[in-house]
Amino acid sequence: MADTTSLSVDVPALTSLLDGRYAEVRNLVRKNLAEYAGVIQDQVEMTDTDFRERVREVIKHMADTGATGLGFPTEHGGGGDVGASIAAFETLAFGDLSVLVKAGVQFGLFGGAVLQLGTKRHHDAYLRDLINADLLGCFAMTESGHGSNVQHLGTVATYDVATREFVITTTTESARKDYIGNAAAHASHAAVFAVLEIGGESQGVHAFVVPIRDEHGEAMPGVRIGDDGPKMGLRGVDNGRLWFDEVRVPRENLLNRYADVNEAGVYSSDIENPDRRFFTMLGTLVQGRVSVGGAGISASKVAITIAVKYALKRRQFGAPGTDEEELLLDYGLHQRRLLPRLARSYALHFAQEVLVEQLHTASNDPDYPERDRRALESRAAGTKALGTWHATDTIQEGREACGGAGYLAVNRFAALKADTDVFTTFEGDNHVLLQLVAKGLLTDYSTNFEELDQFGVARFVADLAVETVMERTAVHKILERLRDVLPSSDDGQDESTLLDADYQLAMLRWREEHVLSGVARRLKRGIDGGSDPVQVFSQVQDHVIHAARSHMERLVLEAFTEKLQAHPDDPNAETLAAVRDLFGLSTIEADRAWWMEHGRLSSARSKSITREVNALCRRLRPVADDLVDGFGIPVEMLQAEMLEQGY
């Protein structure tokens, strides 16, 4: 069983470890958050219209401090540091999330499209004003009829040789742009994604800068703008709809990094395959997903911090013979509800840190290998899915753990819950993203198959991939090797090995490889057997999701473990090892049925995992307050009234 010696925490050292190389940037944002802390109350009290304006003001103030341009090139007034820009965004997510999302739309999505898909003429024209928030833009990709399936957008751009203009049109009602942040009230420009048709031939989706409002804020000719109206949350973000009726923009407004149309109307691109071109363009926008995933993890930290601190103030029901009631966190069940989620927030933090480092490296290296770039995109997709689902789950449990007090707007859960809810489906629906992760694994991030849709993947796997998958992962060999580490169900094993990081990792690796090769086999068998690929894919879909989740959880545990290995003398090493064990074992526990079904976990050992999780919760209980303090959330962001009351 878990060591029962007491643990201690050096909180400043913990925050320093978590902040990592971006401590300075994170502290700048913490200062900004504290300065504009009033916005949290404004969110509760202002009308939607007023709050939208308030959020716009805050964004402008933040831009003036230099906190919003960190990821842009220095020659255009930016900071030239992609990693720092994401660290800033993650920290911003401790505060009001309308501010966060509006900043994400402006600097991440709109700014990212101009930066990544545009060329010097666009950078010169827009970046400086954009970074300063003097030019507000929106990212017009999603349509009412097409969210996840961006390749089949219904907005069309044609080229008019006579006037050297592109003509952009919303072809059907379901092709209206929808849920577009910044569109309903503030954006003067939009990065519009439309299918480019040249001489009647489709070249696939491309992006164009389209002015949508004039200097008086009126819609430009041919542009119709609607308001999405009230939403579950994010009241300060003006989400809207856009319709284009033969809207004309100069030829130069095509964001032409990957493809161009010359004056005569001839299309050219270095990437011949239109699917591959499309996914290359999309791939450059990976930063958005990395940012949203990080924001989800930050929101989970806020929720767990409030819930833990409340559980350390609030007493309920008495022990016999005493006058004082018990603190909520002294109940085993309450520990169970909060502490594994706290551990998961830590684990996801370190996984996110690895992802950001990889993205930072890739951003600065034009020769970053293609395969690695696709693996990075996949990892971003998976981390976003895990991080945002964790936020939804933790906020929900945290609210319930605070009872009626958690339901009052003044205590932050209302906004946290309503604002983050959309994180699981925007910037890529989480289920679709996990399928992307599985696709990458099944095709080994292959250059040639990047552009495959899901049915293409099914066919591809049927043709080739079982062997490929097997070979790449050397499944058999790995399984062989893992058998040495993993006891089979029948072996007796000392419980103490449960607290061995190698054991936990071996379990997660074994699951990943086994589920993945199972998916490949199922796809192959179905298609070889003559079944409709649509049916085959539909029936194997839950295994696909399981494979992706297994892969991601293995990466998360690995990141946590490697972080600890890299800091063996950290003053909090022992405590963090216990947090890591709690994450690792509670992750295994949640899917323990799977290991039992596959002969890798005996029933006795499965039960002992549950006992160990409980023991780890008890062991971490005395340092729970320090562990949440380690996140370094500005106290102004915890302005939860319930934490200030005596009970």
- Helix axis angle for 430-442 and 533-566, nearest 10°, is 90
Instruction: Tell me which of 15, 361, 531, 541 binds a copy of itself, using CB under 8 A.
Output: 541
Name which of residues 559 to 578 contact a copy of itself (CB under 8 A): none
Our finding on whether 646 is near a copy of itself (CB under 8 A) is yes
DSSP 146-178: BSS-GGG--EEEEEETTTTEEEEEE-SGGGSEE
Which whole-number Å values give the CA distances from 567 to 20, 250, 510, 570, 632, in the listed order? Answer: 12, 55, 27, 5, 20
Query: How far apart, in whole angstroms, are the C-alpha atoms of residue 215 and residue 222?
Result: 16
Instruction: Tell me which of 76, 164, 336, 481 binds a copy of itself, using CB under 8 A.
Output: 336
Our finding on whether 142 is near a copy of itself (CB under 8 A) is yes
Interface pattern 345-384 for a copy of itself (x via CB under 8 A): ----------------------------------------
Instruction: Tell me which of 35, 331, 479, 567 binds a copy of itself, using CB under 8 A.
Output: 331
Our finding on whether 540 is near a copy of itself (CB under 8 A) is yes
Our finding on whether 429 is near a copy of itself (CB under 8 A) is yes
Instruction: Using alpha carbons only, give the angle 326, 331, 335 rounded to the nearest 5 degrees.
Output: 135
The piece of 159-167, 189-197, 268-276, 448-456 that touches a copy of itself (CB under 8 A) is 448-456
Our finding on whether 171 is near a copy of itself (CB under 8 A) is no
The one-letter amino acid at 158: T
The piece of 156-164, 323-331, 436-444, 563-571 that touches a copy of itself (CB under 8 A) is 323-331
Nearer to a copy of itself, 366 or 404 (CB): 404
Instruction: Tell me which of 124, 221, 455, 500 binds a copy of itself, using CB under 8 A.
Output: 455
Instruction: Tell me which of 12, 199, 250, 599 binds a copy of itself, using CB under 8 A.
Output: 599
- Helix axis angle for 466-473 and 475-485, nearest 10°, is 40
Query: How far apart, in whole angstroms, are the C-alpha atoms of residue 275 and residue 471?
Result: 27
Sign of the four-CA dihedral 91, 93, 94, 95: positive
Interface pattern 48-87 for a copy of itself (x via CB under 8 A): ----------------------------------------
Specify the long-range contacts of residues 435-438, CB closer than 8 Å, at least 24 apart. Answer: 435/541, 435/544, 435/545, 435/548, 436/377, 436/378, 436/381, 436/548, 437/378, 437/379, 437/381, 437/382, 437/385, 437/548, 437/551, 437/552, 438/516, 438/519, 438/544, 438/545, 438/547, 438/548, 438/551
Query: How far apart, in whole angstroms, are the C-alpha atoms of residue 458 and residue 436?
Result: 13
Name which of residues 220 to 259 contact a copy of itself (CB under 8 A): 228-233
Query: How far apart, in whole angstroms, are the C-alpha atoms of residue 351 and residue 35?
Result: 30
> C-alpha dihedral over 616, 617, 623, 625, to 10 degrees?
150
Which whole-number Å values give the CA distances from 208 to 40, 308, 355, 599, 615, in the listed order? Answer: 35, 48, 29, 55, 57
Instruction: Tell me which of 90, 165, 377, 421 binds a copy of itself, using CB under 8 A.
Output: 421
Name which of residues 178 to 217 contact a copy of itself (CB under 8 A): 178-179
Our finding on whether 320 is near a copy of itself (CB under 8 A) is yes
The piece of 133-141, 301-309, 367-375, 532-540 that touches a copy of itself (CB under 8 A) is 532-540
Our finding on whether 614 is near a copy of itself (CB under 8 A) is yes
The piece of 288-296, 369-377, 451-459, 463-471 that touches a copy of itself (CB under 8 A) is 451-459
Instruction: Tell me which of 50, 134, 160, 173 binds a copy of itself, using CB under 8 A.
Output: 173
Instruction: Tell me which of 114, 414, 433, 559 binds a copy of itself, using CB under 8 A.
Output: 414
Our finding on whether 27 is near a copy of itself (CB under 8 A) is no
User: How near is the Cβ of 334 to a copy of itself at its closest, in Å?
Assistant: 8
